Amino acid sequence: MTDSVRIGSRGSELALWQARWVRDKLVELHPGLVVEIQIIKTKGDKVLDAPLSKIGDKGLFTREIEHALLQGSIDLAVHSLKDLPTELPEGLVLGAVTEREDVRDVFLPRPGTRVRRLVDLPQGAAVATGSLRRKCQLLHLRPDLRIVDLRGNLNTRYAKLEASGWEGMLLARAGVVRLGWAERIGEAIDPLVILPAVGQGALGIEVRNEDARVLKLIGGFHHTATAEATGAERALLHELEGGCQVPIGTYGRIVTDQTGKPVLMLDALVGSLDGTRVIRDAISGSPEASSVLGAALARRLLGLGAQQILDQIRTPSE
């Protein structure tokens, strides 16, 4: 009998690129394996007329896919790791984390505009993003900017940009490059200037925790250094109890110290929605202690004032 697996994926062009990449790698690793892709619409895909921060919290782009996985109609799910909540449903596990692509955010200027960098934008320029994390950090850097909320898949967003009077928009470089849009990038922003989202640039492969067959099939995808770096980021997010509605940025990476020993470095911030207040700190230590480091940095941020920011954001306005 031919061995086969079914991949669950969102239907956007980027999500399907990611699912096909996993499919092709699976076939390369396991010749003869038959791999199907099943498209599943999530709440985040269906509700496009409201900001992410207004339509819910965790699992906006994963819940329906996870349900299919638990029901057995698919065998594995491919997610952008930044979309995957830190708490998974009982019975599911993050089976593999792929090697991380470039973590940076990028500025895509509107076609025909001459300005290529954020620093050169005129006073009061309009910049589009659907991310509160980006909005917070942009306004912290440039309080004069006008931030426009932008939803939809990447093709939809770019079409809106072309038809707009905005100067440009911010996206994750990994997705832009995966779609073949590298030439549209005006500026790739230093990840320590605008901290990325948790897990940005990596894919997470979610499976049933007792499915030994599929866990073995995806073993070749797992990248330890990426898993350690993003594990610290996810532990930080879990400790902060963050989600789409909270401006949290973080950047974990493995570097080598003077003795040649690997060290995990983690930067993170929590900011107010208007960018006027940003609480930021960093920590470093052994990559094997990534989760401990992430949680410790989160507690430090809370003690420095992030708790007040988070309480204010989560308290409904009168």
- Annotation marks residue 45 as catalytic: no
Say how far apart CA 18 and CA 27 lie, in whole Å.
Answer: 14
Contact 295, 235 (CB under 8 A): yes
- Strand, coil or helix: 39: strand
Say how far apart CA 99 and CA 117 lie, in whole Å.
Answer: 28
Among residues 45, 75, 83, 105, the one annotated as catalytic is 83
- Counted residue by residue, the chain has a size of 318
Nearest-CA neighbor of 130 among 19, 44, 195, 39?
44
The beta strands (E) that lie in the chain are given as 4-9, 34-39, 76-80, 92-97, 105-109, 126-129, 146-149, 168-172, 187-188, 203-208, 248-256, 262-271, 278-285
- Strand, coil or helix: 101: coil
All residues at 6 or more sequence positions from 318 whose CB lies less than 8 Å from its CB, including other chains: none
- Antiparallel, parallel or unpaired: β 76-80 and 203-208: antiparallel
Catalytic residues: 83
